[in-house]
Each structure stands twice: as C-alpha cells, then as structure tokens.
Amino acid sequence: MYYPEPISKLIDSFTKLPGIGPKTAVRLAFFVLEMEEYDVLEFGKSLVNAKRELTHCSVCGQITDQDPCSICQDEARDNSLICVVQDPKDVIAMEKMKEFSGKYHVLHGAISPMDGIGPEDINVPSLLNRLKDEGVEELILATNPNIEGEATAMYISRLVKPSGIRITRLAHGLPMGGDLEYADEVTLSKAMEGRREL
Ligand SMILES: [Zn+2]
C-alpha cells in the first residue's frame, strides 16, 4: 500500500525466493528499477525460459532441456552403475568430480516423516523399473549424510536387496548433517572411493 502496484508486485515476487526477507526484497526491487531496460528484459526472459524449457528426464529425473538427458543418452557411460542422489544439483557436484562414469537417478527429495514426506513422494518407482530394464549391477546410494538421507538410503537398500544388486553407500569424509552439493570435489571423490557395502 506504500508503493505503486508494479513495485509492490515485484517486491512480493522477490519475497517468494529462498533467503530473501522483506527488506532485501525491497532493496532488490528498487535495484531492478535502476537497471538498464535490456538487462531487465534478459533477466525476465531467463526466468521464463528456465521454467518453460526445462523438464525432468523421464529416465533419471535430472533437470534437462532434452529428454532423455545428455547423461542418459551417453552410450560411453556405464549402465551397470547407478548413483542415486537427492537433488539435481548433486548430479552437477558429482560430474565436477570427473571420476564417475556410471549413470544417475535423482530422487527429488528424501524420506522425512517429520515433514510428511514418505517413500511415495520421492522418485523411487522409476528407479525400480530401471533396475529391471538396464542390467544394473551396483547401486551407489549418495543421499545426503543426515537423518533423512540415511533413512532414504536404508529404505531403498531394503527394497532392492532381494534382487541381488550390489548396494553401496558413500563413506568417508562427507560431513554428517551436510548437503552433498556443498562437498568439494576431493571429499566427494574420497567418499566415492571408500563407499561401503550396505
Ligand atoms: Zn537422464
């Protein structure tokens, strides 16, 4: 009510972003007003395009602009090895390590009874189908080293174990309670080397 409507709408939009409080939202909105019109248009276009042109890979769940994603399409990669992660950003972290030649599966979350997120809310059914179809020999559970990530790893492990597929979990070096995406390449690489049987 203090600002003209276009500004208050812009402030509202910024407030919806994570980590942006009301004061920061006001600061950002006024900053946009000072920007060159071209830059503002490009910014707006990037927002819309990112939303419209990106989809989830129908095989692995990764965010992609082509379906299946480039990793799933890559015939040089090892189909017998699937690394299961919680978040699309975790795939990027693993890829930066440049040592993993298998494929991925993105769960888009972790089991968290406290937040009402059950096994049916994460991308597990398509993983089970892949295990049947793709000749998978090892499943590396790279969910985050915290309570939710552990619970999710245990759940998948119990589900898959009867099929005889080798199940491993990333080991050393990853800080407990942390997010995989924030681990540096060396730590991640060590964790991959030292993965243990579940
Ligand atoms: Zn994919």
Work out the burial of residue 145: count CB atoms within 10 Å of its CB; fewer than 13 is exposed, 13-18 middle, 19 or more buried: buried
Distance 64 CA to ligand 1 centre (A): 8
Contact between residue 107 and residue 123 where contact means Cβ atoms under 8 Å apart? yes
User: Which residue's structure tokens are 């060396």?
Assistant: 186
Distance 14 CA to ligand 1 centre (A): 31
Distance 155 CA to ligand 1 centre (A): 22
Distance 59 CA to ligand 1 centre (A): 5
Q: Which residue from 54, 58, 143, 151 is spatially nearest to 107, judged by alpha carbons? A: 143
Distance 46 CA to ligand 1 centre (A): 23
pLDDT (tens digit, 9 = 90+) per residue, 59-80? 999 999 999 999 999 999 999 9
Confidence of residue 198 (pLDDT cuts 50, 70, 90): confident
The whole-angstrom separation of Cα 36 and Cα 31 is: 10
Percentage of the chain lying above the pLDDT 90 cut: 66
pLDDT (tens digit, 9 = 90+) per residue, 5-19? 999 999 999 999 999
Residue type, 132: K
Distance 70 CA to ligand 1 centre (A): 7
Distance 11 CA to ligand 1 centre (A): 36
Pairing of strands 81-85, 103-106: parallel
pTM over 0.85: no
The whole-angstrom separation of Cα 116 and Cα 162 is: 27
The mean pLDDT of 44-69, rounded to a whole number, is 94
